[in-house]
Structure 1
């Protein structure tokens, strides 16, 4: 009987010690390690390790016709080069012509074809969203770009400021090649990059023709707060200082609510109610921020299309039958806004 009590007592002490150890690891050690490890934060925000290898130089192997793979140096000091797919407008395609025989440079210089800079999400590469490209090329001359550190672009330090700097330089590069209208289309993380990019180029009096935000978020910390794992830690007094604040401090915040007020072109937001990665209320928050801080006369309209729960989730909005109409109406609205702005300036 005495031995049984001793055994029970030891077992109880062991269980209590184990729970204390687990508590310290999960609720103290991990948050502290996360706070001081920039590389852990970087790998979570930019999971480049999850992006598959691909034969980017052979778009035809993906069933893509009228696509050129090329590279643009956007930072000569750090020798950063980005991989790009130039996806020609559908109306220029011919079953007779092979990819290598299209006049890509000549078409790029043609101002009659609106250009779209497509910026993918944090786990994507330019060879992923083929079905969406088939829709976009009906309205645009598409440039699908891989960020530094992604796919076969240069492996360089990934921070928000560096990625935005790259996109600013890419925009200037392509603007030097053509007088065509240039639009941005960002998906997920790409919405944060595109919004910040447009805000930055405003300081140089550069304004694109339009911005499309597909499954956007307000800020990265807002997305993190909604994650089921971090919700378990939200009651901790040190939760914000160890888990959320370091993300912004170390340059991974992507605070679109801060930058969207400086977007001086029409905006279209697309989100699905059943998005399991970025809750749609964060897109709603971004939309409300833009509307409440916007001069519609000088900055253009903000359109918000929230799709019902039909299985579109985070990646499949391209399946929505109404999407082509939304895109066409948006482009028409951007052109009309541009003409009105020009007329008002002249007058």
Structure 2
């Protein structure tokens, strides 16, 4: 038709995509905007983080003040069982194949786990023996050390086991136990309960000993138990032959204030009210600085200068108080520091090859009668070998 012939068609070119190009100036502005946004996000994140830290920082003292039992758990740390997978019924698993495990009841229905390690000289004879044989060895010509361990862990803690081996090699019976609430012992921990358990074990030992010396050795928190125990013994007129305090403190308030855990709160206004009063609210004092004024037996204090748990200055302060005690005026009080260069820290004084010399010079009775048939030289050489072995696995 005529209309068809008059229609003109034009090819349609494809529309190219629109490309926007930024000039150098515009690109710089764009990057600045991105950088500013990132900075705002970073500041916002850091602000939230700091706010969260502040809330936690403020909340912890308030929680402890409202629930003082938390502070008691932090003092005792009996729930921290390291190493966890050891069977306390089998001390031979820890290399103590001349040690007997048994249980005693300081109170009706309350069972506590005890280890008795005989002197190393009895090692062969001890193989395959049961509790009755171990009980009979208390009549031998060897003194006894009652060892009171510190917080956390059990009587099977590695550094404790190593000390038992050292003392056994020096000719001592070593008797140790887990306080109520520790290890496989029943009950819940308290200062009074720990002291009562120690007193019960001490009396149990005295019933089995003739005239052989009985020494009390406390470590860390165990030094507080030890001075509590010895004070009670002295009050009733039956002091032990000597008291050995390894890494001791003056009292629990001063120790808590000096402990690394308290560093972030130490200068907080109201620190004593928030933290220290929460400890004493649980009847926890461990006032060794008071106890030494009621003790009447030789005292030996051992402390490493690089102790990061119980500061060295607290052990030295306790020594000064003990040195001025009227009740100790007729007894020897010794303080033996260990240089930081030795790296004995809080747990490793047992590695000192000088330990037998220290014991024999500080408290002569610790040496007299302790080493029947064994020369001083052979014992020192043996202990040096033990110390070298310990240093190899440090």
- TM-score (norm: length of structure 2): 0.75
Deviates more, 1:168-177 or 1:10-19: 10-19
The residue number in structure 2 matching 1:323 is 355
Mean Cα deviation higher: 198-207 or 325-334: 325-334
| Counterpart position of 1:344 | none
Of 222, 240, 251, the residue aligned with 2:283 is: 251
Which blocks of at least 5 consecutive residues in structure 2 are unaligned? Answer: 1-32, 369-394
Alignment check: 8 A CA contact 2:297 2:328 kept: no
Q: Does 1:220 align with 2:249?
A: no
Check 1:91–1:329 CA distance in 2 against 1; reply closer, same or farther (3 A cut).
farther
Counterpart Cα distance in 2 of 1:12 and 1:297: 65
- Rounded to whole Å, the distance in 2 between the matches of 1:87 and 1:96 is 10
Shift of 1:71: 0.9
1:131 Cα deviation from its structure 2 partner: 1.9
Between the aligned partners of 1:198 and 1:215, the Cα distance in structure 2 is: 17
Q: Does 1:123 align with 2:155?
A: no
Structure 1 residues 330 and 8: alpha-carbon distance in aligned structure 2, compared to 1, 3 A threshold: closer
Report the alpha carbon displacement of residue 42 of structure 1 after superposing the two structures with TM.
2.3
Structure-2 separation of matches of 1:96 and 1:88: 8
- Confirm or deny that 1:276 pairs with 2:322: no
CA separation in 2, counterparts of 1:278 and 1:74?
30
Q: Offset at 1:278?
A: 1.2
Residues 3-82 of structure 1 mapped to structure 2, 5 A cutoff: 19=50, 22-26=53-57, 28-51=58-81, 52-76=84-108, 79-82=109-112
User: How big is the shift at 1:73?
Assistant: 0.7
Structure 2 counterpart of 1:302: 333
> Which residue number in structure 2 is paired with residue 196 of structure 1?
228
Would the alpha carbon gap of residues 34 and 113 (structure 1) be closer, same or farther in structure 2, given more than 3 Å must change?
same
Aligned runs of 1:176-195 on 2, under 5 Å?
Answer: 176-179=207-210, 180-195=212-227
Q: CA deviation at 1:15?
A: 6.5
| Unmatched segments (≥5 aa) in structure 1 | 337-347
Q: Name whichever of 319-328 and 48-57 sits farther off.
A: 48-57
**Residue in 1 that maps onto 2:267:** 235
Quote the RMSD (CA, aligned, Å): 2.8
Q: Quick check: which has more Rg, 1 or 2?
A: 2
Q: 1:160 to 1:189 in 2, by over 3 A?
A: same
Residue pair 1:209, 1:335 contacting (<8 A) in 2 also:
no
Q: In structure 2, what is the Cα distance between the partners aligned to 1:101 and 1:163?
A: 24
Q: CA deviation at 1:286?
A: 0.8
Distance 1:66 1:334, change over 3 A: closer
Q: CA deviation at 1:21?
A: 5.6
Find the aligned partners of 2:215 and 2:166 in 1 and give their Cα distance.
15
Please tell me whether the aligned partners of residues 65 and 98 of structure 1 are also in contact (alpha carbons under 8 angstroms): no
Partner residue in 1 for 2:164: 133
After TM superposition, the structure 1 = structure 2 runs for residues 322-341 of structure 1, keeping only pairs within 5 Å, are 322-333=354-365
Q: CA deviation at 1:193?
A: 0.6
Q: Structure 1 residues 92 and 226 mapped into 2: Cα distance closer, same or farther (>3 Å)?
A: same
Q: CA deviation at 1:106?
A: 1.3
Return the alpha-carbon distance in structure 2 between the equivalents of residues 335 and 301 of structure 1.
Answer: 15
Residue 121 (structure 2) aligns with: 91
- Relative to structure 1, the CA distance from residue 100 to residue 13 in structure 2 (aligned partners, 3 Å threshold; closer, same or farther) is closer
The size of the alignment, in residue pairs, is: 329
- Residue 228 of structure 1 and its aligned partner are, at CA, apart by 4.0
**CA 1:8–1:335: 2 relative to 1, 3 Å:** closer
Are the structure 2 counterparts of residues 169 and 95 from structure 1 closer, same or farther at C-alpha, using a change threshold of 3 Å?
Answer: closer
Give the corresponding residue for 2:325: 293
Give secondary structure in 1 for the equivalent of 2:171.
coil
- TM-score, with length taken from structure 1: 0.85
Cα 1:92–1:24, aligned 2, differ >3 Å: closer, same or farther? same
Deviations 1:258-305 (A, max 9, x none): 11221211011111111111111110011111112234454x111110
The 8 Å contact of residues 34 and 41 in structure 1, kept in 2 or not, is answered as yes
Q: Is the 8 A contact 1:66 1:98 kept in 2?
A: no
Aligned position for 2:24: none
Distance verdict in 2 for CA 1:260–1:153, change over 3 Å? same
Residue 345 of structure 1 is matched in structure 2 by: none
Query: For 1:101 and 1:146, how far apart are their aligned partners in 2?
Result: 18
